[in-house]
Structure 1
C-alpha cells in the first residue's frame, strides 16, 4: 500500500505542478520576490477547466474529490464551483471477469444466484457499475463495486493527506481550516459510498418514508443478493426526467412532475431528516403513469433538527422577502460569517431577489438567491457543515430540474404551500407572538427600572462626579501602524538631516553610520506601506458588480438511469 501511495504521490505532483507554479506566481510575481498578481475571473475559469481535466486524468478518487468540491463554495471561488459541477465520470467499465470475481466472492456463482445475467454493464462509473439481471424471473439491477478500487482509494487518500500541508501554503488562514475538515469529510464520504450496505440502509429508510406516496417510486433492495460490495435492487425502468420530448409524447404533466419532485425533497429534508443527495437528471426517471423514480442512494445525508428548523426559517423569510430574517437564518446555520458586513450582505440579498423576480414580483427562484450567497461565501470565508453543503447543492440542482420541466415553475410558491400545509407558517406566527410578548414584558420591567437609574445619573452630574470613558476599537491595530510610520518618518527625516550635516562638517565614518541608519529607517518605512495589513477597505459589492454575468450554466451532458452512483455525485 505504501509503495503504491508513493508512486501515486509522484504522479499527482507531476499533474498538479504547473498549476502549483501558477498559484505561487500569483502570490509572488517572481516566485520568491515581487508583488502579488491580480487574477481575473476569466483566468480563474481557465484554470478551473485545466484542473477539471487533471482530476479526470487522475481517476476515481480525484473525480470524487472534485464532485465534493463542487458543493463547497466556502473553499473554492465561484468559477471553480461552476466548472466542477459539470464533473462526470469518464471511466471505462471494468472487465466482466474481474467484476464476476467480486460478485461470486460475495454471493456465490452467478449462474446459481441469478436466473439470467447480462454481462454488458448498463452503467459504469468510478466506484462501481450496474448490470441488468433476473432473480427467479424478476428483473433486478445489480450494482458491483469496481474491482481493486478500495486499494486505489486508500492510496490516494494517503497522497491527499501528504500533499495537504503543501496546499495550505496557497490558501489563507480562514480557508485552511475548511480544507482540513474537507479532507476528513472526503475520506469519510468516499468510504461510505463504497459501502453498499450503508447505501441499502439509507435507500430502505427513505423508501419507507414514502410508502404512502403513490407518486414516488424507489426500488426495494433484494437483501438475499446484497452485501457490502454488491447491491441488488428491483429494476424499475423509466424515461429520464430531462427527456422533455418523450415526456410530452407520453402525456406527462411536467408542471405536476416538478411539483412532486420539489415536495419530495422538502419532505426528505424538512420532515424526515434523511435525503437523497444526488438529484441529477441521470438519477431521476418517470414512469408512463407519471410516477417519479429515484435511483442511486450512494450519496445521501442526514439533517439534524436544528438545521431543519433553520431551513424552514430561511425559506419562510425568502417567501416573505424579509432580508434581515434571511441573514439571521444563514448566520445561525453557519452558512454566513457573523463578522461579514451585514449591510453589504443585505444589499447582496436585495439584488439577488430583485434580479430573480422577473415580470411578476412574486416570481423568483431560490437557485439565483443561493448562487449569490455562494459567491459571497467565498468573499466572506466561512465553514460550511458537511450536510448543509449537500442541502445547499441539492436545492440548486432540484430547482434547475424543475425549471427544465417547466420554465415558468414557481419554486418559492410550491415551497410556501408545502410549509403552510405542514403548519410551519402557523408555528412561525405563534413563535413570533411569543417573542413579541416576551419583548413587551422586558420593556415593562425596563420601564420600572429606568427612572431610579436616571435620577442617580442626574445627581452625579449635579455633583460634578459624572465621568465619560471612551475606548477606541482598533481590532486591526491601525493606530499602532500609523504610530510606527510616524516614528519611522521622523527618524528618516532626522537621519537625512544628520547625514547631510555630518557630511559637511565631520568624518566619512560618521557620515556612513548616519546614512546607514537613515537607509534602515527608509527600508522599514517602505515595507510598512507594502504590507497587506495596512489601512484597506473591506471588499464591497456594488450593484454593477452584482449584475455582471457569472458565465455559462451548462451542466454537461445528461446521463442515463443508474448512471448516478459515481457519475453524478
Structure 2
C-alpha cells in the first residue's frame, strides 16, 4: 500500500485485519478522506470520509503464479507430444495463462468494473457493482458495498429471500454478459457474489472482476446460437453453432443427437444437490452404455478433436452457477433463461424494419410452465432417442 498509494494522505483510517483473503489478494475496510475523493464522490461521504474496500495483492504472488502456470503448460505439452488427444488441454491452459496475467493487474479490474456496471445499467438489469475510486497495478480502492454472502442461509431466511428468484436473476445477469455484452466475469463462485436487500428487493452484488473474458462477435453469437439450438432441440442449428465456435468430436457428424443430448444435459434445469447427482449418474451411465455399444459394433469411440480456448470459461461460468444453485437448493430453468437472452442477441442481427411485428421473446416462464415444458421436452427427447436406436 505504501509503495503504490499514499496512505497517510488518502486514508483517514485503515483496518489492519483483512475482511477476506484469497489466493491473489486480500481486502481491508478503510475510510478515504473527503478531501481526497474523486470529483463526484464527495457527496457520498459522511463524517470523516467515505467507507471503502481496499484490495491489496499479496507480495510475490505474481511470479509464483507465473511459475506454476509455466510448469503446468510444460506438462500439458509433454502429454500432447506423448498422446495428441491431449492437445485441447494445452489450448485451455494457454488461454487461462492470458487471463491470469490480466487478473494480476488491478487497473485492468477497475476498467472491468466500470464496463460491467455500465452494461447492466444500460440493459435495465438490477444489480450492485462496486465503483472503483483509485487503482494501481497491485491496489484497488472501491466504495464499500453492504450485504451478506449469497450462501448465508440465516441471512437469506431472515430477509425472506426467494432463492429461486434470486438465482434466476443471477443467471439472467450472466446470460446478458455472455450473449449480449460479450464481456463476462469468468469466476462467479460463492465468494464473489453477495446479496443486498434494498426496499424489499434482493439484489445480487457482483464482486471481483479480475478474471474477465471478452468474446469476439463470432464467439458471442456462436454461444447464443448454441444455447438457443439446445433449447429448441434443433440438431442442425446446434451443429452449425458448434462448427462456428470450433467445437468438434469424432462423432459430431455421424451422431449429432449425442451432442444435442450433452448440451441439454449440461444446460439442464438446476435443483438440489442429490437430485443433480442422480441426473449426472443417469447421464453418464447412458454414455457408458453408448460407448460399450460403439465398441461392440466397431464404431469409432467418441473423443474431443477441437476445443476453442474460450470454451473453458463458458463451461466454468455455467458449472459454477449450477453448483451455486444446487448449494442453495434453487430450482432455476437454466436453459430457458439463457435462451431468452440468446434470442435477443440473435434478433439483433436483423435490422429493426425487417423484424416481425410479433414479440421476439416470450415472457419469462412461470415455475409451473417451466416444469411442464421440461417434462414434455424430456419425453420428446426419449422418443427421438428410441426412434433413432430402432432405426440404427
TM-score by length of 2: 0.69
In the alignment, what sits opposite 1:547?
Answer: none
> Equivalences for 1:276-425 in 2 at 5 Å?
276-289=185-198, 290-337=202-249, 339-347=250-258, 349-350=260-261, 353=264, 379-405=302-328, 407-420=330-343, 424=347
CA distance in 2, matches of 1:424, 1:244: 39
Could you tell me how far apart the structure 1 residues matched to 2:67 and 2:227 are? 42
Match of 1:558 in 2: none
CA contact (8 A) 1:316 1:425 kept: no
Partner of 1:270: 179
Q: Which residue does 1:463 correspond to in 2?
A: none
* Deviation readout 1:97-139 (Å, 9 max, x if unpaired): xxxxxx101112x333211111111222222211111112211
Quote the residue 1:199 is aligned against. 109
Would the alpha carbon gap of residues 106 and 397 (structure 1) be closer, same or farther in structure 2, given more than 3 Å must change? same
Which residue does the alignment assign to 2:2?
104
Aligned twin of 1:482? none
User: After superposition, where does 1:481-560 map in structure 2 within 5 Å?
Assistant: none
2:54 aligns with one of 142, 157, 160: 142
**Cα shift at 1:247:** 1.3
Deviation per CA, 1:410-445, whole angstroms, max 9, x where unpaired? Answer: 1223234444566739959x99x9xxxxxxxxxxxx
Match of 2:375 in 1: none
| Partner residue, 2:99 | 189
**Cα displacement (A) at 1:277:** 1.1
1:459-497 deviation digits (Å, cap 9, x = unpaired): xxxxxxxxxxxxxxxxxxxxxxxxxxxxxxxxxxxxxxx
User: Are 1:220 and 2:159 counterparts?
Assistant: no
Corresponding residue of 1:252 = 161
Q: Which structure 2 residues correspond to residues 10-159 of structure 1 after superposition, within 5 A?
A: 103-108=1-6, 110-136=7-33, 137-157=49-69, 159=71
Name the larger-Rg structure: 1
* CA 1:232–1:107: 2 relative to 1, 3 Å: same
Identify if the C-alpha distance between structure 1 residues 231 and 318 changes in structure 2 by more than 3 Å, giving closer, same or farther: same
Contact preservation (8 Å) 1:403, 1:409: no
Deviation at 1:179, TM superposition (A): 4.2
Query: What is the deviation of 1:298?
Result: 1.0
Supply the distance in 2 between the matched residues of 1:308 and 1:183 (Cα, whole angstroms).
21
Q: Counterparts of 1:121 and 1:105 in 2: how far apart (Å)?
A: 19
Aligned to 1:385, the other structure's residue is in SS state coil
Shift of the 406–427 alpha-carbon distance from structure 1 to 2, 3 Å rule, reads farther
Per-residue deviation at 1:322?
1.9
In the alignment, is the contact (CA less than 8 A) between 1:214 and 1:291 conserved in 2?
no
Cα offset, 1:219, TM superposition: 0.2
TM superposition shift of 1:208: 1.4
- C-alpha distance in structure 2 between counterparts of 1:300 and 1:128, whole Å: 16
> Residues of 2 paired with 1:141 and 1:154: CA distance?
27
Distance in 2 of aligned mates of 1:276 and 1:120: 27
Q: 1:361 maps to which residue?
A: none
- The verdict on how the C-alpha distance between 1:353 and 1:202 changes in structure 2, with shifts beyond 3 A counting, is closer
Richer in strand (by share) = 2
8 Å Cα contact 1:210-1:216 kept in structure 2: yes
Return the structure number with greater relative CO, CA threshold 8 A, min gap 6.
1
Q: Deviations over 1:511-541 (max 9, x none)?
A: xxxxxxxxxxxxxxxxxxxxxxxxxxxxxxx
Query: Shift of residue 402 of structure 1?
Result: 3.9
Unaligned segments of structure 1, at least 5 residues: 1-102, 359-363, 434-542, 544-569
Distance 2:59 2:65 in 1: 12
- Report the equivalent of 1:471: none
Q: Which one has a larger percent helix, Structure 1 or Structure 2?
A: 1
Q: CA RMSD in A?
A: 3.7
Give the match's secondary structure for 2:187: coil
Q: CA deviation at 1:293?
A: 0.4
Name the SS for the 2:52 alignment partner: strand
Give the corresponding residue for 1:230.
Answer: 139
TM-score (norm 1): 0.49
- Once the two structures are TM-superposed, the CA of residue 162 in structure 1 deviates from its matched residue by 5.7
Matches of 1:403 and 1:291 in 2, distance apart?
19
